[in-house]
Amino acid sequence: MRIKIARLLMIIVVLVNLAVLHHIWKLLSYHESKTLNSSVKLNLVKNNSRKHFLNNRNVTIVLRDIEFFENNVAETIESLQNIFPRLKILIVVDSLPYPPLNLKRNDSQDVKMINLQVQLHTSAEKRNPLFHIRTKYVLFLPDSVHISTTELLLTMLSEVDKHPHNIISVPSSNSMSAACLQIFLSVKEWTLQYNHVDEDVCDSVTGRQALLLEADILRMLPEPFMIPFPEAIYIQSSAKKLKVRLLRSTMLRDGRALFQSPHAQWKLQQLTQARRAHMFRTLGIKKVVRETGSVEWYGCNRDIPRCFGSVVGDMPQYLWEDKWTPPCCLAGLRRTARHVFEHLEASGVRYWLEGGSLLGAMRAGDILPWDYDVDVGIYRDDVPRCSWLVRAQSTSVVDDHGFVWEKATEGDFYRVQLSRVNHLHVDLFPFYERNGTMTKDSWFPTHKQDREFPAHFLHPLASLQFVGRLVSVPNNIRDFLELKFGPGAVENPEYPDHSKLRFPRKPAFGEAVVQVDYDY
């Protein structure tokens, strides 16, 4: 009997334990199921949110960098529509494509071509791509790229959300060496300089790439759709102090390779050079220093007229625009001045720097960064020693190096110009001694520095660095300049009649120090 009772109790204990274990198992299963369902639901919410974001057309895709003579626009658009069927695509061109782009008919109007060329039947508003962009973001894509998933765009959107007002750049698979560049832009000096930076946040990125940015950034820029693209947009965004973030961890997949033949490459190179020259001239940039150190000039040279016209009231046009002398003009002036000094010295003509040119030499060993000519005094008795000055007395003459020597029409002095076409010049004023004073026969009443001076400043002549060489100057330069311009002339530079400028102010002393470029 006792054995039966013990067995019964054991069975009851086992059953109770099984019941407890079953209950625990059910509780654990329920908790795990609830956790999994929450995770699935969260992922579904995220995915739906992403799809909702894209389906609500928060991004406009723009194709800008397209060549009519060879392109892959049709395949590029088809691949985009497979991934982004609801996003609007704009093709921005400078003229009606010829040969015509082989695009499929699209009745949904999700693909639209914007022709920037002036047409009588199209309003200025509708020719402006910004009129057709109603989204928060714009994605610029190069021709002949494929995007296989939405993850690329979502990654870029995530980055721009983290760093608002930044431009997000993703290189293509053919741009493995995409580099970040820093841009130094000086509107006043008409110059642009690129430097390499070992960072992923910079001012410009090289190579083929996709750009994602807020549409409001485009509205801030003066010419957001200028070509070559994206070089033009980076120059404009750097002027607004905007930064670019290069995403090296992700990459565009390139489609069919373009411009493989030598002729196509030559044609693309010619177009790019022409567009780049137009871009720099439009943006008012005359000198570009590449990250390699090479220098490109987009201003005047001796074969075309100088960058500014006639000077009225001693104030050149560029000062009225709150800029300094274009660097190409400074380079032309240096070249002309060195040529004149060499000829004067070879002929035995005694000379010295005068006026603002001497001020520039004293401050920085160069032409004042806002000056438009070079002033030189010579002994009138030495004129017969220089054959070019003798010939210039009766007619304008071009020397063996293409420089023009002539008698000035404004008074009794000589002028040497860079060329027949480019009138950047050096003025040579003939002085003679009378009763211990250096004087001349014609004066400029509006030039306060144009006055007589004691002859002892030239006995003896001294020398000073100017435009990359030693030149003759008066002795006791400071006293000479203060006699001409007044006390403190060296430390307190002044623009000519700065009271008439749109932005009247005196330049700081440090502003007179400029980087000299002697390799024009």
345-353 mean pLDDT: 98
- What's the whole-model pTM score? 0.84
The tally of CA atoms less than 13 A away on the side-chain side of residue 286 is 22
| Amino acid present at 50 | R
Query: Rounded to the nearest 5°, which phi and psi values hold at 130?
Result: -65, -25
CATH fold, domain 317-512, is Beta Polymerase; domain 2 (3.30.460)
60-64, 451-455, 513-517: lowest mean pLDDT where? 513-517
pLDDT at 45 over 60: no
Please give the torsion angle defined by the CA atoms of residues 487, 312, 440 and 401, in that order, rounded to the nearest 10 degrees. Answer: 110
Whole-angstrom distance, CA of residue 463 vs CA of residue 477:
10
Q: What pLDDT was estimated at residue 504? A: 57
Query: Rounded to the nearest 5°, which phi and psi values hold at 377?
Result: -95, 145
Q: What is the pLDDT of residues 380-417, one digit of tens each?
A: 999 999 999 999 999 999 999 999 999 999 899 999 99
Q: What pLDDT was estimated at residue 177? A: 75
Q: What is the pLDDT of residues 129-173, one digit of tens each?
A: 999 999 999 999 999 998 888 999 999 999 999 999 999 999 998
Provide the token pair at 73. Answer: 């626009």
pLDDT class for 498, splitting at 50, 70, 90? low
Number of Cβ within a 10 Å radius of residue 161: 9
CATH 3.30.460 boundaries in the chain: 317-512
Provide the token pair at 126. Answer: 């509708």
Q: What is the pLDDT of residues 201-217, one digit of tens each?
A: 999 999 999 999 999 99
Q: What is the mean pLDDT of the chain?
A: 88
Could you report how far apart the first and last alpha carbons of the chain are, in Å? 121
CATH 3.90.550.60 boundaries in the chain: 55-254
Provide the token pair at 510. Answer: 């440090």
**Considering only the top CATH level, what class is 55-254?**
alpha beta
45-65 mean pLDDT: 68
pLDDT class for 446, splitting at 50, 70, 90? confident
C-alpha triplet 147, 60, 275: angle, nearest 5°: 85
